[in-house]
Amino acid sequence: MTHRKIWLLAPALMAIAISYSIAAWAHSFPEQETPSAGQKVASPPSEVVIKFDAPIEKLFAKLEVTGADGANQAIGAPQVSDDGIRLSVKVPLLKPGDYQVKWAVVCIDTHHTQGSYTFTVANGGS
């Protein structure tokens, strides 16, 4: 292949290379939740934990667990592990019912992500 052809091909190759990197560097998103989204647990959890796919900033981490009455059940401020991956909050003995977990974090790349999911504590759990 001549230099001229390489030069003409370069823009196309660049487009492909950069296009493939489109989702390479995302922000922090949950990788694993405990209890998991939509899960029906037999015994109430003592804490709600979200493991993220990238480190988060403790200063801006928010985690709420609300029941049917809309009150936040979390005990104290949410905790972030030293490696910034794990966000957790203690909860009291939860009564049977549906609970919504709302989270909002700032990744160490300074960008926000947020979301919510629900889990259910089955009857007879407490």
Partner 1 sequence: MIPQPIFAWPLVGAQVLIFGTTAFALFAAPRAVVTGDVSARSLVVLWRVLALIVLVMSPLRLWSIGAGMADSTFREVLPSIPQIMRETFAGRVWTWRLATALLLALVAWIPTPGRLATTLMFVISVALLALQSVTSHAVDKGAFAITIHFMHQAAAGMWIGALVSLLIGATYGHAGADWLRSATSRVSQIAGWSVAALLVTGVIRAWEVLGVQLDLLVNSIYGRTLLWKVGTAATVILIGGYNRYRLVGSVNESSARASLIRNVAVECVLLGAVLGWSAVLANTPPPH
Judged by the rule CB under 8 A, the positions of this chain that interact with partner 1 are 3-4, 7-8, 10-15, 17-29, 53-55, 57-60, 84, 106-113
Radius of gyration of the chain (CA): 21
Residue pair 28/86 in contact (Cβ under 8 Å)? The answer is no
Nearer to partner 1 among residue 12 and residue 42 (C-beta): 12
Degrees, nearest 5: CA angle 83-57-102: 105
Q: How far apart are CA 95 and CA 65, in angstroms?
A: 13
**Of 30 and 45, CB closest to partner 1:** 30
Nearer to partner 1, 20 or 124 (CB): 20
Distance of closest approach, residue 14 Cβ to partner 1, in angstroms: 6
CB of 82 to partner 1, least distance (A): 12
SS3 label, residue 17: helix
